[in-house]
């Protein structure tokens, strides 16, 4: 353990790789494993490296791999977002705003424009911060992550992707090659609520809410997902099931809030107290549900 504080101005030395094809990337990753970090936007990686949180001997810059820069939407099957697509590209995409308003809302609330010009959606997910703003939004759309290695690809639901603070199911030789966001339920609307200390902040608590067909219990879809309330982003399936019940919405909202309060485990840290985070979970959940379900 270090016995002095030494803060770097200059990044520590590392070997820089810039593959131009996916095959080359996978070969490198197979060879270097956890010694190699992936650089796309670099807005988390470079900070971590400077602060000494990460010291990868190799950095693989994936920005010149053309096939990874994909942003496609197909009616019925949904959205495909490649790992080098920046948050700013998503924010300025009118289709995303129209079809995936919760994701769009979350993306535009991440940091500031300058950062969003660099940062990528895949990076926000791969970094696996409990405060990742895009995670709750992707969770309510039931997004899937395509992980690829020299041995092939696998599709992991985002709901199974995060395993702990900054931990995921990704293997050492795998990289994210796609984020797939299915077609949302017909008529779905929603928003991302982000509690902050100042304009442009990390989420003290982030809440993604998606609602479709509020007045028809059989068809009704209500999904909630949270950032910064537990070691991983939180999605609670029970809420979605609860709202299938043909009961007064007022009562269901109250029950949903109670379920959520039992599922979150916020901590007190430098950004906010546990008490404040619980206040937000309780009241903002109710506020969003009432608003989106049209309860007066």
Q: Is the dihedral of CA 286, 290, 243, 80 positive or negative?
A: negative
The smaller minimum CB distance to another protein, of residues 32 and 272, is found at 272
Residue 216 CB, nearest approach to another protein (Å): 22
The smaller minimum CB distance to another protein, of residues 143 and 239, is found at 239
Antiparallel, parallel or unpaired: β 15-17 and 58-61: parallel
Nearest by Cα to 176 from 208, 209, 154, 207? 154
Tokens at 37, concatenated:
């970090």
Residue 3 CB, nearest approach to another protein (Å): 5
Residue 115 CB, nearest approach to another protein (Å): 11
Tokens at 6, concatenated:
């030494």
The smaller minimum CB distance to another protein, of residues 25 and 236, is found at 236
Residue 199 CB, nearest approach to another protein (Å): 3
Nearest by Cα to 161 from 151, 152, 170? 170
Residue 276 CB, nearest approach to another protein (Å): 5
The smaller minimum CB distance to another protein, of residues 8 and 66, is found at 8
In the block, residue with structure tokens 């920046």: 86
The smaller minimum CB distance to another protein, of residues 43 and 173, is found at 43
Distance (Å, whole) CA 17 – CA 58: 7
Residue 285 CB, nearest approach to another protein (Å): 9
Cβ neighbours of residue 216 closer than 8 Å, sequence gap 6 or more: none
* Contact set with another protein (CB under 8 A): 2-10, 12-13, 51-52, 112, 195, 197-202, 204, 250, 253-254, 257, 270-273, 275-276, 279-280, 282-284, 286-287, 290
Residue 213 CB, nearest approach to another protein (Å): 23
Q: What is the H or E stretch that residue 235 is in? A: strand 234-235
Distance (Å, whole) CA 142 – CA 160: 10
Q: Is 61 helix (H, G, I), strand (E, B) or coil?
A: strand
The smaller minimum CB distance to another protein, of residues 2 and 74, is found at 2
Residue 133 CB, nearest approach to another protein (Å): 14
The smaller minimum CB distance to another protein, of residues 71 and 295, is found at 295
Cβ neighbours of residue 10 closer than 8 Å, sequence gap 6 or more: none
The smaller minimum CB distance to another protein, of residues 13 and 94, is found at 13
Tokens at 132, concatenated:
């990742």
Rounded to 5 degrees, φ, ψ at 245 are -70, 145
Distance (Å, whole) CA 114 – CA 117: 5
């Amino acid at each position: 353990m270090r016995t002095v504080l030494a803060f770097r101005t200059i990044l520590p030395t590392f070997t820089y790789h810039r593959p131009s094809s996916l095959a080359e990337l996978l070969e490198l990753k197979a060879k270097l494993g956890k010694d190699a970090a992936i650089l796309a936007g670099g807005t988390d990686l470079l900070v971590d490296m400077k602060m000494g949180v990460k010291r990868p001997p190799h950095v693989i810059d994936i920005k010149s791999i053309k096939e990874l820069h994909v942003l496609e939407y197909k009616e019925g099957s949904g959205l495909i977002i490649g790992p080098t697509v920046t948050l700013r590209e998503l924010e300025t995409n009118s289709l995303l705003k129209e079809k995936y308003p919760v994701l769009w809302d979350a993306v535009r609330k991440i940091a500031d424009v300058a950062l969003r010009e660099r940062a990528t959606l895949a990076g926000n997910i791969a970094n696996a911060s409990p405060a990742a703003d895009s995670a709750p939004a992707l969770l309510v759309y039931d997004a899937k992550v395509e992980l690829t290695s020299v041995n092939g690809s696998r599709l992991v639901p985002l709901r199974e992707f995060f395993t702990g603070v900054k931990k995921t199911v990704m293997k050492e030789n795998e990289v994210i090659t796609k984020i797939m966001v299915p077609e949302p339920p017909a008529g779905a609307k929603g928003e991302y609520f982000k509690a902050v200390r100042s304009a442009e902040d990390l989420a003290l608590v982030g809440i993604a809410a998606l609602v479709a067909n509020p007045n028809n219990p059989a068809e009704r879809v209500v999904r909630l997902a949270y950032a910064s309330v537990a070691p991983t982003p939180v999605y609670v399936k029970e809420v979605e099931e609860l709202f299938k019940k043909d009961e007064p919405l007022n009562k269901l909202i109250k029950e949903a809030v109670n379920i959520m309060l039992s599922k979150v485990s916020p901590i007190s840290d430098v950004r906010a107290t546990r008490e404040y985070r619980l206040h937000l979970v309780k009241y903002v959940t109710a506020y969003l549900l009432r608003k989106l379900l049209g309860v007066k």
